[in-house]
Structure 1
């Protein structure tokens, strides 16, 4: 009986000890290597948006050296096109060689710059660069459009009268207009001449006459002695006269419109505003946002 009581007493003690350890287990095992530790919270920061810069907007004004910034202007007033388009000017007294403002481009191969709407300011006034005709067609169906410069394109702005009231880009056939209108300065006389193989079927006299029409000259159908002399009905005369009738701006345009070198790098604009000083002036070029593109003084 005594042994039975000892066993019961022993079990009560063991059970009490077990209950005590179970109640204290969170504290005892806290920090144990087996304890699962929560990862520290993290804040997600979205990446900055990618910046895309148009090739035509380089270099950034920040890359311009201080000494290149014109007097009276700050870096923040410089156009992204600063040093991309250059301006120069020359004053003239002659009607045949009028005062001129020239814009020349300094662009890389893939760059294009729309300059229509840009402003030119001098001490005497200001002008806005207008639209012009990119491909001048003799038919008269030539829409005016914004002037977009690329590569080594350049613009000559003449401060004088335009005889046809249209600004345009030069091409290899535009010189024929000089036969009917007086442009100042004169249009280039570099119209394509017929090749020998092209006229070889014509009489020798007809070929000689055609080759004598250098530049952009056209036959004078009213007073030219040779043209009048071939008024007969012989096959030779008819063929010669038919070919001579193609020597003009229309014929040139039909033959050469799609030549790879048909369009010139030069644009010509006429603006009847005398804004240049006859002695000294400061000429400023601004983009559409009113930011400075270039300065020229003389």
Structure 2
């Protein structure tokens, strides 16, 4: 094919394309005026920018917001729950019937459990428990994070960590305060009655660092034998043998007790337990022994959980 023929074919193809362009809109066609555009945001720069091509059948969205899509969805769900009267803590704090049927207010109790799937601590001080049947209503108060005996205990809001459990007893506290349990609180069980009973998880006295079994000030074999027979989490209340080594008697009377246990171990990572004992300070039962419905409401009076029995 000669150069002249190629030129003719080129002119014919170009003319054909021009006619197609002209009859499909020509200069009035929007795609002739622009290709890829940035659509200005309807909100400030913290909003969304839409990048799109008018020739494409879809829109590509980019966001400069700090919140992820999952966070925005979660917040929307929480707002919807609140509008419906359902707490954002629904499924995060579970209400259970411990022994609400008991007719003795000192043994009547409910159980709260913080889901181990929670990611944050939850403050339950100011929440309420309400009987749908009788109208009885009680507010959850504060507690002592680290209780002491024979002294006024500082009270603070109750923050439940993931996996924490609360025993909520209707009656009064045997030690005068609600509290979080620790490895030493088993000592309270010796002279008081708790429902349910406190676990005795105290360190063995003979395993303490200050229980000297070697060196010039070592405790003798009779002392070691005596201490090893002392029940866990118990003070020695009976008279000590008259022939007991003096240093041994001093150790038993001054070191084997709750306050000494706390002093030695309160800074250890496993000192605190995931259990709380909360007392509602009532001298009468709050819940019916049958045909009862109890609601747990958060500080905004939204429903957290319900039990029926």
Structure 1 CA distance for aligned equivalents of residues 108 and 229 of structure 2: 34
Match of 2:172 in 1: 161
Change (3 A) 1:192 1:282: same
Change (3 A) 1:110 1:139: farther
| Counterpart among 204, 214, 218 of residue 235 in structure 2 | 218
C-alpha contact 2:166 2:275 (8 A) present in aligned 1: yes
| Counterpart among 76, 88, 103 of residue 84 in structure 2 | 76
Give 3-state SS (helix, strand or coil) of 1:177's partner.
Answer: helix
C-alpha contact 2:189 2:198 (8 A) present in aligned 1: yes
Give 3-state SS (helix, strand or coil) of 2:306's partner.
Answer: strand
Change (3 A) 1:43 1:183: closer
Q: CA deviation at 1:140?
A: 2.9
C-alpha contact 1:168 1:267 (8 A) present in aligned 2: yes
1:148-201, CA deviations, whole angstroms, 9 ceiling, x for partnerless residues? 011100110111232332110111112223344444443322211134574423
Larger radius of gyration: 1
Give 3-state SS (helix, strand or coil) of 1:295's partner.
Answer: strand
Match of 2:103 in 1: 93
Match of 2:275 in 1: 266
Structure 2 CA distance for aligned equivalents of residues 246 and 274 of structure 1: 40
Does residue 1:191 correspond to 2:202, yes or no? yes
Give 3-state SS (helix, strand or coil) of 1:101's partner.
Answer: strand
| Counterpart among 256, 261, 278 of residue 252 in structure 1 | 261
Query: How many residues are aligned here?
Result: 243
Does residue 1:240 correspond to 2:223, yes or no? no
Root-mean-square deviation over aligned CA pairs: 3.4
C-alpha contact 1:199 1:207 (8 A) present in aligned 2: no
Structure 2 CA distance for aligned equivalents of residues 75 and 106 of structure 1: 23
Match of 2:42 in 1: 45
Give 3-state SS (helix, strand or coil) of 1:60's partner.
Answer: helix
Structure 1 CA distance for aligned equivalents of residues 76 and 246 of structure 2: 62
Give 3-state SS (helix, strand or coil) of 2:174's partner.
Answer: coil
Give 3-state SS (helix, strand or coil) of 2:255's partner.
Answer: coil
Q: CA deviation at 1:225?
A: 4.2
| Counterpart among 223, 230, 235 of residue 206 in structure 1 | 223
C-alpha contact 1:167 1:269 (8 A) present in aligned 2: yes
TM-score (norm 1): 0.70
TM-score (norm 2): 0.68
Structure 1 CA distance for aligned equivalents of residues 296 and 88 of structure 2: 13
Structure 2 CA distance for aligned equivalents of residues 85 and 131 of structure 1: 17
